[in-house]
Each structure stands twice: as C-alpha cells, then as structure tokens.
Amino acid sequence: MPFVPQTMALSMVQKASSLGLAGSKVMPEFIAISNGICTYIPLSAIVTTTNVVLGPGTGTWTGPVTALIPNSMSSMMILKASESMVVGRDTRKFFDAISFGVCQTIMSSVIAQGTVVGGGPGTGTGKVTGLVPSNLEQQIVLNLGQQLLVGGKTNPVISAVAYGICTYILSAATIIATCIGFFAPPPTGPIPIPGLIGTGKLV
C-alpha cells in the first residue's frame, strides 16, 4: 500500500532539508498535508483506460502511473499561490518538497488497476479523473486544524497545494495498462476490439 502518510511526510521533510527549509513546524505541517493527501486521493481518484484487447471476453488491467514531474507540479502551485499574493522567499521550497513527496515517493509507487468488460488480454493507456482541488483542500485543512496548525495564510497556501496536486495529476498522469483475462474461443473469438473502455482505482 503506497499511500502511507508517514513515508510521504518523511520524504517531504528530507527534500525540504536539502533545499535549506527547516523549522519546528515543518514536520507537523508535512504530516498533516500527507494525511490529507493519502486519505483523499485513493478514495476519490478514478482511472479510465482505453484498451486494445481480444474478445469477446472478461478481463482485468493493471499498470503504473507515469509522466509526473515534481517541478511541474510545484509550478502549478506557485501559479495558484501568486493569484492570492502569498508567494514568499521559501514558498517555492515548500511547494517543491510537497511535490517531490507526491510525485517521486508516492505516485511513482502507485499501481492502477481495474476491469475491462467485454474484452480479454491486450494493452491500453489511461488517465486519472475524479480529483477536485477544493475537496482535497478541505481534507488537508481538517488535518492541519487537528494539529492546531492554522494561520492567516493557511487557506491560500493549502488551496494552492491542492490545486497543483489535483490539476497536475489530472492533466499529466498517464497509466500504461496491461490487460489480462480470457476471450471466447472460435468460432466466436478471438476478435480484436479497439477502444474498449476500462475503469479502475489507484492502489
């Protein structure tokens, strides 16, 4: 199970330290943020694949999440934060550490898996849907509040974090699917079926 808050938080802290960002609240903040992310994403993310398979049949698919670059995710956070005028000296470092934890530590270990109704073995590609920045923001703010880590700039900063994570994953994450299963024997099959849709989750 890759969605482990402690693992993500430790990765963020290590990245922050390498960038010269430290302080008594850094670890508690990253723990709260990681708790929110690891609670929200696996419950809300939906993966849709388009597959070329043999059928008719029944099958499942599985595949890694690829194409996520931490700096690109943090750039989206900076863009959102600048709209609220909350960009400061260490803002980029803060966002870089979070993005590293999400992209390099967690999402690189995630496996997407699901079903293909009507088809058997084959290949496909997929995208992530279902992530809503405001819902992730609420989850993170809830966790920050439980640790009494709230302040005047908390909501705009966390809004930027949630926006960057959700928007970037939705736009950039790519799933390379391998479909397995069974197809009907002759004379019914096998028949190549292009464009067959599969649905699944991140695990």
pLDDT in tens, 4-26: 999 999 999 999 999 999 887 88
Query: Mean pLDDT, to the nearest integer, of 177-200?
Result: 96
The mean pLDDT of the chain is: 94
Share above pLDDT 90 across residues of the chain, in percent, rounded to a whole number? 86
The answer to whether the CB of 33 falls within 8 A of the CB of 143 is yes
Query: Mean pLDDT, to the nearest integer, of 75-104?
Result: 93
Contacts of 151 (CB under 8 A, 6+ apart): none
Q: What is the pLDDT at residue 22?
A: 84
Give 50's strand partners: 125, 197
Residue type, 95: F
70 preceded by a cis bond (ω within 30 of 0): no
Evaluate if residue 191 carries a pLDDT over 80.
yes
What are the angstrom distances between the C-alpha of 110 and each of 30, 151, 174, 175? Answer: 20, 33, 12, 10
User: Domain map of the chain by residue range?
Assistant: 5-37+67-105+129-174
Report residue 122's pLDDT band, with 50, 70 and 90 as the boundaries: very high
Least confidently predicted of 130-134, 140-144, 197-201: 140-144
Q: What is the pLDDT at residue 86?
A: 80
Distance of CA 128 to the CA centre of its chain: 8
Query: Mean pLDDT, to the nearest integer, of 84-103?
Result: 92
Q: What is the pLDDT at residue 165?
A: 98
The residue that leads in pLDDT, 2 or 80, is 80
Report residue 152's pLDDT band, with 50, 70 and 90 as the boundaries: low
Least confidently predicted of 72-76, 114-118, 145-149: 145-149
Query: Mean pLDDT, to the nearest integer, of 111-125?
Result: 97
